[in-house]
Each structure stands twice: as structure tokens, then as C-alpha cells.
Structure 1
Amino acid sequence: MRILVWHVHGSWTTSFVQGGHEYLLPVLADRGPDGRGRARTWNWPAGAVEVTPEELADVDVDVIVLQRPQDLELARAWTLRRPGVDVPAVYVEHNTPGPSAATTRHPLADQSAVPIVHVTHFNRLFWDCGSARTEVVEHGVVDPGHLYSGEWARAAVVVNDPVRRWRAVGTDLLPALSRAAPLDVFGMNVHDLPDRLAVAPERLWTFEDLPQTAMHREVARRRVYVHTSRWTSLGLSLLEAMHLGLPVVALA
């Protein structure tokens, strides 16, 4: 199949493009959120192909994987086809609902053209999707292999945008955790953490957006993995840490 899918969540997309299909990844000149193309820090197979919006108008697409409300309009404009009407489509909902979990309406609630696919049963339970068809395809990761050595007496944390997402991902917990064990925080946009948290420099190190294989090697050298998220879907970094062989501590 030829699948149109945006590069929205790197780790999820890494797993998704491992199948035996052709994956069309929109790319824009600025490689912004609507057109990141192939990953720069993940190793994706040759079947993951970059396409420009202009090229998409002339490409036969078998199915469209939507992941954000704006993908509906982008798909219409770039493919000249209506998702769920002119071409099959699914909407993959990566996130937990908010701000009011039990009453938050999904953007695609009460429509029948595009099924909503949740990545956890928890998310399916809490999102209000009305009469829309819903399915669950649980999160998965590409197994990085058992690399654990634990040679560094430090704890690893993997989180993206910890300053912007703050309490949702447990950023406010890091100072207290750093008093129990020095922390090494890996992810995107982690470089601002030392300036935002009153933590001694030797108790909090940051590693900005390492290539995935390098991050796996480095995380595996830490003594333990700490998963700090309060309100997110099941974290792929948690699954990766377990595959790497790290002991894990999760917020509960």
C-alpha cells in the first residue's frame, strides 16, 4: 500500500514505517510541523519517502493517516481528495484528552467517514468520540536490544518540551528527584531546564535531541530510568527503556 502519513511523533512513526509498504511523508522547505519529511535523528527504511505537496496531487494514495485536526485540510488541499470519502483514512489520536478528561470532545466526534484509532485503551475510554467508530492499536517500539550496563550512577529521564509541558510531564518533580539521584534528561528542547529549575549543575545534565541510536546507548549506561509523566499516553521512551533492560521507576 501507499500510505500518506505526516511525521508528527518521531518514535511512533519510526515503528509505523517498519512495515512493508510505501510511506509518503510530506516535506516542506522549512521542514516545519506540517512537512518534516524523513527523520534526521532516527534510522528509517527506504520505504519512507519524502513528497512535496505539489507531488501529492499526482500520486495515488491508498490510505491517509491523520494525526492532527489540520491534517484533514492539508490532505484535501495537497491530494485534491477528501479523506474518508475519496480515499480511505484513519485518525490516529496519540494524546490523552484535556483539559477535562471525561468530557473533552474529540475533533472527529460524531462522524462516520474516518475511524478514530487510539494508542491506549485508557485514551479510548476517556475521549468523548460520540458516535464515531473507535479502535485501539497500542503503542509499540522497534526493539533496540538489551544494552543496559548501568555504569553511571545517575538516573535517565526522557521527555520532549519539558518547559512548555511542565506539570503534564512532571517537570516540576525534577528538583526533588535530583536530590535522590543526579538526573540526565534527554529529549527535544531540554536545554532550558537548568535555567528554569533551581538544581545544582552536577545534579541535572541535559542532552539535546540525540540521534536515537546514540540516545539508546547513553540511556542504557544510566543506573535507572525514571518516567515522570502525569498526563500523557503511554510513553514510548518507557517502553524503550524496558527493552534496553533498565530498571524503571514510574510516577503513580
Structure 2
Amino acid sequence: MRVLLWHVHGSWTTAFVQGQHEYLVPVVPGRGPEGRGRAQTWDWPASVRELSPTEVRAALDDGAVDVVLLQRPDDVRLLQEWTGRRPGRDVPAVYVEHNAPTGHAARSRHPLADLDTVADGTVPVVHVTAFNRLMWDCGDARTLVVDHGIPDPGHRWTGERPHVAAAVNEPVRRWRVAGTDVLLRVAQDVPLEVYGMGTDLLAPHLESGSPVAAASAARLHDLPQHELHDALAGARAYLHPYRWTSLGLSLLEAMAIGLPVLALPVTEAPVAVPPEAGVLSADPEVLVAAARRWVDEPEEAAAHGKAAREHALTHYPLGRFLDRWTALLTELVDDAPAGRPSSRH
């Protein structure tokens, strides 16, 4: 099949495009949010092809797109503005919801819940975790869960650095949601290294803390994806401080590398991180105590990391993820009204 999708979430898309299909990714000048094109820091296969907005329309006119994968309300708008097509009416479509609700946890109405093609089930809403499906109000939409799948990075953990690593984008702007205050509490007693966009803004917050925290201000990094796994592998453990998020792929990747986990017991984390893989607690002092113990006892950290890797690969295998997506996309294309142009033979 030929699948049209926007490049929204790099790690998720990296897994998705490992499948057997052709992937058409819009690109606009400057590679802004309306069309980022191919990833610049992930390794994507040759089956991912960039199309300009004009080429997107031509591809749909020629029947060279079988199904559209939407991930933002803006994708619906762009599809209609660029091509005149309505998802679910003029072209088979599916909407992937990557995030937990950003408003009231139990009363957030999904932005697509009232779109007619969603409400009648023509465009299903696919959640990446069961927790997200539970919390979003999707009205009468057909909803499914397709759990994440991750390419196996290999067991890379060495743990030679007695530090705890965290991967958090924009930790200052996203303060409480990202659990930045929890991260800073851990940093008071345990050497920390933080990876992600905007981590440099953490420096003054660390420098004003304890001597341990101040020293961590020199370990703030924004690395390309292909360097991140090796960097994480040298840390003793992984801290996932988020209060409210979907299931971050950085967490699953860290587990697959072999890092033991420290996290808050919220959203999907209790499913993703079993007791043998790490420590979950709503009390930051418990996380600090576990981190200090692992810094002093690398053998215990290694054992938890081994269990974390086994759990991640068993519960989030790439093959199962790709098979489930192929089955769903095939169903949507096969159920499309007869007579619609298609590239399938």
C-alpha cells in the first residue's frame, strides 16, 4: 500500500515506516510543521518518499495514495486544503492519537470526536495506549489501541557512569507536566545527565541547588537520535519524571537498551515498567533512595535493567506493531467504496 502521513513524532514514525509499504511524507520549504519531510536524525528506509503539497494532490488524483494516516487536527485541514479530499469520504483514513488528554483528565472531548466521518466510524481513532483510550472522550467514534513497537537497539547498557539519565524535551517550559521539579529533586542527591531540546535552560536551576546538582549542570545535552542510545547506555539508570504524558518512546527505548527505570506510577507507566524492571513511586524520596542504591550497587541496577529489556521487547515488539497496522490499513482500504482509484493490485 501507499500511505500518506505527516512527519509528526519522529520515534513513532521511525517504527511505523519499517513496514512493507510505501510511505509518502509531505515536505514544505523550511521543513516546518506542515511538512517536515524525511527525518534528518533518524535512519528511514528508501520506501519513505517526500512529496510537495502539489505532488500530494497529484498523487491522490492519480490514485497513488491508498490510505491517509492523520495525527493532528491540522492534518485534516491540510488534506482538505491541499487536495479537496475529505478523510473517510474521498480517501480511506485513520487518525492516530499519540497523547493523553491535555485538559481535564476525565472530561476532555477529542478534537475529532464531532467530525462526521469519525462519529460514524469511517475514520477510526487509534490510541497508542489503553490508558489514553480510557481517558479521551471520543464520542461515538470507533476506537482501537495499537500499542507501540520499537526497533531493538540491542543491549547496550554498560552503566559505567554513576549517573541517572533522563530524556526530556523542553523541561523548563513543560515544568510540572514533564516532572521537572521531580527531576531537580533527584538531582539534589544523585548525579544527573539530561538529554533533549531546551535542556540548557535547566542549568541555572541546577546551579542554584546542592553541589551534586550544580555539577549536573555540565551534563545537559541535545543529541541527534543516532547518538542518544549510546549516550544513555553509559548511565547507571533511567529517570522518567513525567507526571502526565502518553507512554514515551524514550522510556521504552531506554528499557530496551537495558537501563533500569525510576518513574512515577502514572498514566501507562505501571503497565510499561513492572516491579522487576525498576522502581515506581509517587514519593520522590523513594526514587532518590533507589537511585542512590543503584549508584552504589551496579549489580542490582544491571539485574533490573536486564528485566526492563526483556519486558520491553516482549510487550512492545516491532513485528507485532507492524502486523497490526498492516491489518488495520488493509481493512480500511478493502472497505472503501468501490470505484475509488487505488494503487493496489
- What range is the shorter-chain TM-score in? over 0.9
Offset from partner CA, 1:16-35 (integer Å, 9 cap, x none): 11101111111111111111
Alignment of 1:189-228 (within 5 A): 189-197=198-206, 198-199=208-209, 200-204=213-217, 205-208=219-222, 210-228=223-241
Counterparts of 2:172 and 2:96, CA distance in 1:
26
What residue number does 2:74 align with? 70
Counterparts of 2:170 and 2:149, CA distance in 1:
21
Counterparts of 1:139 and 1:97, CA distance in 2:
18
Runs (4+) of structure 1 moved beyond 2 Å?
A: 195-201
Per the alignment, in what secondary structure is the counterpart of residue 148 of structure 2?
Answer: coil
Counterpart residue identity of residue 192, structure 2: L
Identity %: 59
What residue number does 1:29 align with? 29
What residue number does 1:117 align with? 126
Residues 1:43 and 2:43 aligned together: yes
TM value normalised by structure 2: 0.70
Per the alignment, in what secondary structure is the counterpart of residue 162 of structure 1?
Answer: coil
TM value normalised by structure 1: 0.96
Offset from partner CA, 1:140-199 (integer Å, 9 cap, x none): 211111000001111110111222211111112222110221111111222222135534
Q: Between Structure 1 and Structure 2, which shows a larger proportion of helix residues?
A: 2
Per the alignment, in what secondary structure is the counterpart of residue 128 of structure 1?
Answer: coil
Aligned alpha-carbon RMSD (Å) = 1.3
**What is the number of residues matched between the two proteins?**
251
Moved more, 189-198 or 14-23: 189-198
Counterpart residue identity of residue 176, structure 1: R
Counterpart residue identity of residue 134, structure 2: L
Counterparts of 1:41 and 1:23, CA distance in 2:
18
Per the alignment, in what secondary structure is the counterpart of residue 226 of structure 2?
Answer: helix
Moved more, 221-230 or 165-174: 165-174
How far residue 247 of structure 1 moved from its aligned partner, in angstroms, is 1.1
Q: Between Structure 1 and Structure 2, which shows a larger proportion of strand residues?
A: 1
**Which of 177, 184, 201 is the equivalent residue of 1:175?**
184
What residue number does 1:87 align with? 91
What residue number does 2:145 align with? 136
Counterpart residue identity of residue 218, structure 1: A
Counterparts of 1:83 and 1:196, CA distance in 2:
46
**Structure 2, unaligned runs of 5 or more:** 266-345
How far residue 211 of structure 1 moved from its aligned partner, in angstroms, is 2.2
The question of whether the paired residues in 2 share the 8 Å contact of 1:179 and 1:203 is answered with no
What residue number does 2:169 align with? 160
How far residue 234 of structure 1 moved from its aligned partner, in angstroms, is 0.9
Per the alignment, in what secondary structure is the counterpart of residue 204 of structure 2?
Answer: helix
Per the alignment, in what secondary structure is the counterpart of residue 58 of structure 2?
Answer: coil
Counterpart residue identity of residue 149, structure 1: T
Per the alignment, in what secondary structure is the counterpart of residue 188 of structure 2?
Answer: helix
Larger of the two Rg values belongs to structure: 2
